[in-house]
Structure 1
């Protein structure tokens, strides 16, 4: 809900303000709602407390659906996992190609779309093979000719971040 609400605004400043107010109102309504419901269930009637919760959820859902045709909806652009799979496949295909120390040898994006050139990081270095440019993988205009053989450094870094999240969140079994 928070991400969809923030997407209704065009400027980053408005999106940040929305998220801040969303969190404040969410916590405030949770505390208020829980206090009122618990007080009602303990001192008035369990059925009335449950009924208040059910009515509040139904009203909120109705308002959400009634306003849905006014929402600014972002068009889907494919699965986010496709790019992750492309990085893995491209890195496997180029595993025997030696890595370069020059930033120019890595694909950073089509027509300098990125504001800053993202150099591949040293962590999980074997994935950097996916962004390494080889003859015939780009078109004359700079776009990718073979998307399963070449990925931008941003996509490689996205996969590295994804893998780091799972590595940090491992729960030991006891």
Structure 2
């Protein structure tokens, strides 16, 4: 990810890490309220021990070998961005079990990045890998929805623009519904 200008950019970056973790299943939970934007990303990948977690939060460390730039700012910049708003950031990980990233942005803080385009971000997460199963839960205040990539991949061809357009419109409608129900 070249730049992480929005919260959705951070989510995409961490979801890409989950896909590359060696696991096959990930969970993305997004909870948005008037004051907070929280997300949790979990995977069943290779996980990390305490030393690896510490290294992962160092912007000058990366596990990616085939890179021109030998640094990985994703987790460290997410942590910085969250804490700059007065929010909280946590990593829980267990070797050979997986990793869980929690971020809670305080939306009213002047230093909070814009949320970004949630619909497009979810579509990108679903389309990042055909071999990875995503379970996505999204709440806006008390209203929410679930998306299961396994169902979508069984019923749509995610390489066809016409099918992607159908899925995008579906997510757009879900977003509209949860926000209208709240009024």
Same fold (TM over 0.5): no
Give the structure with higher Rg (CA): 1
Q: Which has the higher strand share?
A: 2
Q: Which structure would you say has the larger RCO, counting Cα contacts within 8 Å and 6 or more residues apart? A: 2
Q: What is the TM-score when the length of structure 1 is the normalising length?
A: 0.21
More helix by share: 1
Q: TM-score, normalised by structure 2?
A: 0.21
